[in-house]
Amino acid sequence: MENLMSYLIAFFLISIVIIKLVYKHNRNAPPSPFSLPVIGHLHLLKPPLYQTLQTLSLQYGPVLSLKFGSRSCIVISSSSAVEECFTKNDIIFANRPHTMAGDILTYNLNAPAWAPYGHLWRNLRRIVSIEIFSQNSLQKSSIVRQEEVYSLVRRLFKVSNREPQKVDCRYVFSLLMFNVIMRMVNDKQCVGEEAAGTDMGNKHLKDMKETFFANLGMNICDFIPVLRWIGFKGLEKRMMKLHRKREGFFGPLIEEIKRKNQTNSLNTATVKDMGKKRTLIEALSSLHKSEPEFYSDDVMKSIILMMFAAGTETTATTMEWAMALLLNHPEVLQKLKAEIDEKVGHERLLNDSDLSKLPYLRSVINETLRLYPPTPLLSPHFSAEDCTVGGYKIPRGTMLLANAWAVHRDPKLWEEPDKFKPGRFDEINGDQRDHAFKFIPFGTGRRQCPGAGLALRINSLAMGALIQCFNWERVEKEIMVDMNLDPGFVLAKAKPLEAVCSPRHGMSNILAQL
């Protein structure tokens, strides 16, 4: 009995020492809810994740410490914390956490969004910025965006000219974006105009979406590694299958790049002199020829992957939300029509050069992005060394999640944050730079999305042309879209938005000539 008491006393004393040591070690850590052994705070997470994290942040503060299985994480939900992480600590948080999806789907971490911070990332960033997203490149590729938007307008006019037609907005926006990106990559449509709406065309579009719009985020196996070892729910097998499917798509494109090099069919100087935008395939062909050691097959595949994975469904989803918001707020729709009628008129179709003259259109797009950012939780970051955020000590190896949803709906930053009020952007002409760190739909800091300019242009051009050319009405009299539905990936599971479309008076002659 005495031995048992001695063991108990020893256990009690050791426990006290351990607790004190842990407390001392973590006394400068951010506040945190009670966690469970092994799983940490995973039991608290419920979909949608960004709203769950917002609720926890309201309770514990804008810098929140969580434990996801074996991983330590901080969640930031205030503009000041976002600014501190992506200015003072921007280099420290410039890396991405190691994930199963990163291992399998990013071509040895050669994808620009997931490449480790350093020489490789800087080179990838440089090439996509110059060849795809620079102002000069965006200007040269405007003809592609314009032609595809006009193609969409033409198809809608054909089906709605005789009588108003119900339109599946999710389908037409997805089709538009896949055609735009495919033409930027290889100057070929994903689904031609004649095939659009047919069983074959629908099947091909669905297949493309399943191939490229896969979540590269983290899953339970990243937090509890033993689950990956036992093949939990076949997650790794499904990723491997998806990777092989992508390989089947990329193979012919890479062969085309190499074939162009061998035949010297591309005269780069002539193309530039003509002012014609090179396709991504042409640009990669030229780069591969000059620097074959760096522009390996994996690097070229990763850049093409970025265009489809980051530039298609995210943008199409924003268009769907914008249309839903306009249908639910007819007074905003009428004001937008009036601006387009005044600045562009009915004698021609809106084009890329008109966008700078339509500040309210940009405000509508920005307000849509504020309420429904394509990625409500920004892509995770990873601390390379110890740092301080909000006065708290953040150790090396901590994952960082920035909750854009919470920042965009913070009543301290936005008046009536849950309401759709494009006018809040009017006084700054919709320029997001004047809303730094409180308006972050494309992220911020050195790893923010380089495609923001392209996304804003195609969103504005498509929505502007559709409002200029057609009247849009709800399918039902009541509000048909629950504006509390989840954006981004979750919206893909919701019922597609449908709207009734008919040509506007005075536009029929222009539309008939397309």
| Least confident residue range of 268-272, 279-283, 421-425, 506-510 | 268-272
- The token pair at 498 is 């449908």
pLDDT surpassing 90 at residue 265? no
Average pLDDT over residues 221-240: 94
Which residues make beta-bridge pairs with 66? 73
- Of the pLDDT bands very low, low, confident and very high (cuts 50, 70, 90), residue 365 is very high
pLDDT at 272 over 70: no
For residue 206, CA distances in Å to 106, 197, 202 come to 22, 12, 6
pLDDT of 216 above 80? no
Q: DSSP string covering 388-431, please? A: EETTEEE-TT-EEEEBHHHHHT-TTTSSSTTS--GGGGGGGTT-
User: Per-residue pLDDT averaged across 345-360, rounded?
Assistant: 96
What pLDDT, on the 0 to 100 scale, is given for residue 14?
53
**In angstroms, what CA-CA distances link 180 with 144, 222, 230, 371, 487?**
7, 34, 41, 25, 22
pLDDT at 12: 47
> pLDDT class for 492, splitting at 50, 70, 90?
very low
Q: Which of 112, 57, 169 is nearest to 463 (CA)?
A: 169
Please, how many CA atoms are within 13 Å of residue 331, restricted to the half-sphere of its CB? 4
Lowest-confidence region among 265-279, 461-475, 478-492: 478-492
Q: Please tell me which of 77-86, 117-126, 272-281 the model is most confident about, judged by mean pLDDT.
A: 77-86
Q: Which domains does the chain have, with CATH numbers?
A: 141-213+312-374+411-514 (1.10.630.10)
pLDDT of residue 214: 65
pLDDT of residue 481: 52
Pick from 488, 473, 483, 492: which is nearest to 167 by CA?
473
Q: Mean pLDDT, to the nearest integer, of 44-51? A: 94
Question: C-alpha angle with apex 320: 319 to 324, nearest 5 degrees?
Answer: 115
Out of 13-17, 18-22, 157-161, the most confident range is 157-161
Indicate whether 270 pLDDT > 60: no
Around Cβ 11, how many Cβ atoms within 10 Å? Answer: 10
In the 3-class helix/strand/coil scheme, how is 106-129 assigned residue by residue? CCCCCCCCCCCCCHHHHHHHHHHH
Q: Output b/e per residue, 221-255; b: 16+ Cβ within 10 A.
A: bbbbeebbeeeeeebbeebeebbeebeebbeebbe
User: Is pLDDT of 222 > 90?
Assistant: yes
Radius of gyration, alpha carbons of the chain = 25
Unique residue bearing structure tokens 């008109």: 354
DSSP string, 218-279: --HHHHSTHHHHTTGGGHHHHHHHHHHHHHHHHHHHHHHHHHHHHHT---HHHHHHTTPPPP
The C-alpha atoms of residue 309 and residue 101 are separated, in whole angstroms, by 13
Mean pLDDT for all residues in the chain: 88
- Size of the chain, expressed as the number of residues it contains: 514
Given a cut of 60, whether residue 51 has pLDDT beyond it is: yes
**Residue 145 to residue 351: CA distance in whole angstroms:** 9
What is the pLDDT at residue 221?
95
Structure tokens at 161: 């000219």
Compute the C-alpha angle 199/201/202, nearest 5°: 65
The two most distant CA atoms of the chain are separated, in Å, by 100
Average pLDDT, integer, range 210-220: 80
| Block residue for tokens 């919206």 | 491
The 10 Å Cβ neighbour count of residue 258 is 15
In whole angstroms, give the CA distance from residue 32 to residue 67: 9
In the predicted structure, residue 271 carries a pLDDT above the cut 70:
no
Omega before residue 48 within 30° of 0, cis: yes
Higher pLDDT pick, 148 / 489: 148
C-alpha span between 447 and 425 (Å, rounded):
25
> Is residue 233 scored above 60 in pLDDT?
yes
Q: Mean pLDDT over residues 166-190, rounded?
A: 95
Neighbouring-strand partners of residue 168: 498
Does position 144 have pLDDT exceeding 80, yes or no? yes
- Report how far residue 512's alpha carbon sits from residue 514's, in angstroms, rounded to the nearest whole number: 6
Residue 452: which residues within 8 A CB-CB, separation 6 or more?
Answer: 441, 442
Whether the predicted pLDDT of 433 surpasses 70: no
444-465 residue pLDDT tens: 999 999 999 999 999 999 999 9
Average pLDDT over residues 164-180: 95
Bigger pLDDT: 161 vs 22: 161
pLDDT band of residue 289 (cuts 50, 70, 90) is confident
Give me the mean pLDDT over the 181-185 stretch: 95
Tokens of 332: 């905003």
Structure tokens at 492: 């893909």
Model pLDDT, residue 268: 47
Q: How far does the chain reach from its first CA to its final CA, in angstroms? A: 95
Q: 64 forms bridges with which residues in the sheet?
A: 75
Q: How many degrees, rounded to 5, is the angle at CA 271 between CA 265 and CA 277?
A: 115
